[in-house]
Amino acid sequence: MPRLSSTAASILTLLNNVNDLITESSDREGARDVMRALRVYAKNKGFTIPEDKVENFLQVLLDSKPYTLTSLIKDIAEDVVLIDRKS
């Protein structure tokens, strides 16, 4: 099994933090801040993330149920792994 780059691992950790903020703490504003920081981190590291999915997540963050948001986060995480394996 191929190993993930340190950048991809960090992005996955940030996504996990976003999910924990939503499901454990009910802190959606904090989750928004972490997701924005994730975008900046990925850009600074030159790592391509699925911007359309991240934008969609941010748009529905306040109105969606935690399960829906977790599904969106998992989808983004899967893309991050695929992108990392291709590069």
Per-residue pLDDT in tens (0 to 9) along the chain, 87 residues: 568 999 999 999 999 999 999 999 999 999 999 999 999 999 999 999 999 999 999 999 999 999 999 999 999 999 999 999 998
Question: How far, CA to CA in Å, does 79 sit from each of 15, 23, 28, 29, 38?
Answer: 12, 21, 22, 24, 14
C-alpha closest to that of 47 among 20, 23, 14, 19: 14
pTM, two decimals, is 0.93
Cα–Cα distance, 9 to 23 (Å, whole number): 21
Determine the longest span between alpha carbons in the chain, in angstroms: 38
In three-state secondary structure terms, 64 is coil
Which tokens hold the place of 16? 């996990």
